[in-house]
Amino acid sequence: MFLVLFDYIKIFNCKALSNSFSKNGLILSAFSILLFSAPQSNSNELNSIFYDFSFNSIDGELMPMSAYKNKVVLIVNTASKCGYTGQYDGLQKLWENYKNKGLVVLGIPTNDFFQEPGKESDIKKFCSINFNVNFPMTSKISIVGKNAHDFYKWAAQSLGPAQSPKWNFHKYLLSHKGKLLASFSSAVTPDSKIITESILDALSRIPENRI
């Protein structure tokens, strides 16, 4: 099993282990995973912790990330008209399989890549009808550029610009202590071995889940 090495690994490029995570003979070289200890900085955003941030829910209610303390969180920027939109199905399955173990899947709609033109009510209806989505989702926000939500600015500074979302369905994994553990590109599907095993490893570190 792939074990996420927490706290003391600075940078880990999964391309170096691509042979270990090939599937059906096809090497998953379209993605990388970054594991790290966050660098020191005087930046307010970089010195912020995950639990300082908040979003508005897809229904317009405040969603403080402090509500997810002691939870493993998978954050995914989503869109309804993307070639990767089918990943909603895999995200819902992750939520159903592991929410009782402490996983939160958080969907963040964005039109930054021009594939989520609808209003929040349209997005919610689309996700419910087509994928039976019931994991938490935020209101539509910007995730890249100067208008990006503060969480995404923090993640970009923590991990470096190369690990910022380049398309819809980019994924960040955070530990039960609010530390950024990994960044997965859009091409890495929710049911992939690397995501599943990274989540399981993170969940195993929640004290309540330890045997």
Residue numbers annotated as active site? 82
**DSSP code, position 17:** G
Give the containing element (helix H, strand E) for 120: helix 120-131
Cα angle 107, 140, 68 (rounded to 5 degrees) comes to: 40
Give which of 152, 157, 181, 194 is closest to 31, Cα–Cα.
Answer: 194
User: String of b and e for 50-74 (b: at least 16 CB within 10 Å)?
Assistant: bebbebeebeeeebebeebeebbbb
CA separation for the pair 74, 56 (Å, rounded): 17
Token reading at 113: 């890549």
